[in-house]
Amino acid sequence: MTDLVPGRRFRAPDRPSDVSPFFALQREMNRLFDDTFNGFGLAPFTREQNSFGFPSVELTETDKELKVTAELAGLDEKDIEINIQDDVLTLRGEKHTETDDKERRYSERFYGRFERRMALPAQVDEDRAKASFKNGVLTVTLPKLETTKPTTKRIQIGK
């Protein structure tokens, strides 16, 4: 209705104390749904995240290796577990909260356990796999297995 009255537009509250109970309820409901979907590795698509899960992952492939890069800001190496089984790479971990819930008024940060699985497009040498973690970015390098390239031979049809 306020959109119909000229010069009267909705204005966001300036201070947290100005937030109506309805806006607080909506914010908490959004947080509840986000936490629920993040627990299944199905975070909803939002403009802020631009992805469908935590962590955001990038997979690159060359002739010799696969490289997986994941953004894991706020985690330590000890909080991350990496596994490969049946050509599926699994990143698992937990991000711990830094403040008590009583002190938190508003948060859009993700806390809790996560698990991200990716089917690998090629067979890899699991014994030579390496991982590094620097500035909140995990890089996993997976050398490809040497396989013989399939050859094609043309067979003539005899008369």
| CATH code assigned at 73 | 2.60.40.790
Give the domain range for residue 139: 54-100+110-145
Position 144 scores a pLDDT of: 93
46 and 83, same domain (yes or no) = no
Choice among 27-31, 36-40, 70-74, 96-100 with the minimum mean pLDDT: 36-40
Query: 3-state class of 146 per DSSP?
Result: coil
What is the value of pTM for the model shown?
0.57
Say whether both 59 and 120 belong to one domain: yes
pLDDT tens for each residue of 38-58: 655 444 444 333 334 578 899
Distance CA 74, CA 18 (A): 31
What's the confidence (pLDDT) of residue 26? Answer: 80
Q: Could you count the other beta carbons within 10 Å of the beta carbon of residue 4?
A: 6
Question: Within this chain, do residues 80 and 43 fall inside the same structural domain, yes or no?
Answer: no
pLDDT of residue 68: 95
- φ/ψ (deg, to 5) at 42: -125, 50
Query: What gap in Å lies between CA 54 and CA 85, rounded to an integer?
Result: 20
